[in-house]
Amino acid sequence: MALHQRIQFGFGGRMTPMVRQLLIINGVVFFLQLITHAFGDQAPLERWFALQPIQAVYGFRVWQFITYAFLHGGFFHLFFNMFALWMFGPEVERVMGAKPFIKYYIITAVAAGALQVLSHWNSPIIVLGASGAIYAVLTAFALFFPNREIFLLLFFILPIRIKAKYLVMIFVGFSLLSGMQLHLFASSDGIAHMAHLGGALAGFFYLRSGWLIGTLAREHRVRQWQRRQRVEQQKHQEMVDIREKVDSILDRINQVGYDNISKEDKLFLKKASEYLSKE
């Protein structure tokens, strides 16, 4: 796959199984949210499954670190997250494979929620949305296709073209600066910037450590193969030496008879016979 190709848009062939399932699941959950809003200002789904730091930590609602990523705060929140997943997710899934991709998606979603909780330990404000995992998908795309050109409409008006690696750097830098600023001034803009940052960082280190582990695993397999080769060579040479000595003793037996060879040679023939029969 050429790294200089421009990203393409469109349905059909570019959709992949896990991305399709994630789109469907998020859509169905959002529909359920709309239905349950009739139960009050905060619907049961958000109350139990959105990530509320103070409840997740002190109330041991650990499932919220996963479930929050399938809830959204409104149609446009859902739309932009799923649009980004539809744009970038299939390419990443093709590189990683379906099962590794969904594993990566879930792990980075949990990590994103964890960083948000760490930075807002006692906050009662709920966090919801797939943005942390989406940032991880963007990070994976930038690592796999760093020079892929992406077309955007800046402020929905000005068309610009930017490489994937620079786009992700801008997103991550914005989340980092925004998160630090809001944390220092104890304010909020309603966006979980630290979750965005957590997803991107988790994705980066997950993939980098995966490559390192893969490299170490390959080196380990090579070393094991080399050891087996050395053992096989030593074993082969040992058998060659035994057979040569056996042949030498048999030649002497043909010349002087079995009774006239030494006790050491008789003992060696016995042990060599037992050893060769096992082989």
pLDDT tens column, 140-181:
998 888 888 776 666 556 677 778 778 877 877 665 665 454
Report, as an integer, the average pLDDT of 11-26: 82
pTM value > 0.85: no
Report, as an integer, the average pLDDT of 92-107: 90
Is residue 127 within 8 Å of 51, Cβ to Cβ?
yes
Is residue 279 within 8 Å of 239, Cβ to Cβ?
yes
For residues 214 and 195, the model is more confident at 195
pLDDT at 87 over 90: no
For residues 257 and 139, the model is more confident at 139
pLDDT at 276 over 80: no
| Of 33-37, 92-96, 269-273, minimum mean pLDDT range | 269-273
pLDDT at 94 over 80: yes
Report, as an integer, the average pLDDT of 259-267: 79
19-38 pLDDT per residue, tens: 999 999 999 999 988 888 77
Structure tokens that stand for 156 in this block: 């929905």
pLDDT at 133 over 80: yes
Mean pLDDT of the chain: 78
Report, as an integer, the average pLDDT of 118-147: 86
Q: Vertex 167, ends 110 and 118: CA angle to 5°?
A: 30
Nearest CA to 23 out of 70, 91, 73, 75 is that of: 70
- Which residues face 101 on adjacent strands? none
pLDDT at 219 over 70: no
